[in-house]
Amino acid sequence: MKLLSIERARGGSAGVRDIAKFSVQITDDLRLVGVRLVETDSGRRLVYAPSAGGSRCATFSTELAKALTALASESLNNLMDRQVNAYSNAS
């Protein structure tokens, strides 16, 4: 599994906020674009498959959801660290 891209996101609903959108290559034959990483009020992070026409385009097993959440969370944290460092170095 390989993260292809990630960007910070804003929005969400009561109790859950969008924190990132990402694209991931699950296998050589399968890529998902527009996967959402969200954070609950308690700090728990979860992933949601992209949707089309109001319906999810995919579902994830518990094991895959945990792996995707960990991969996206680590990548988002690295992205935010790079942005902070770039801002600090520019000052």
pLDDT digits over 6-51, tens only? 999 988 777 899 999 999 999 999 999 999 999 999 999 999 999 8
Q: What is the pLDDT of residue 88?
A: 64
Q: What is the pLDDT averaged over residues 59-75?
A: 96
3-state class (DSSP) for residue 72: helix
Phi, psi of 28, deg, nearest 5: -60, -20
pTM confidence score:
0.84
Q: How many residues can be counted in the chain?
A: 91
Q: What is the pLDDT of residue 20?
A: 96
pLDDT at 57 over 80: yes
pLDDT at 85 over 70: no
| Residue 64 to residue 82: CA distance in whole angstroms | 27
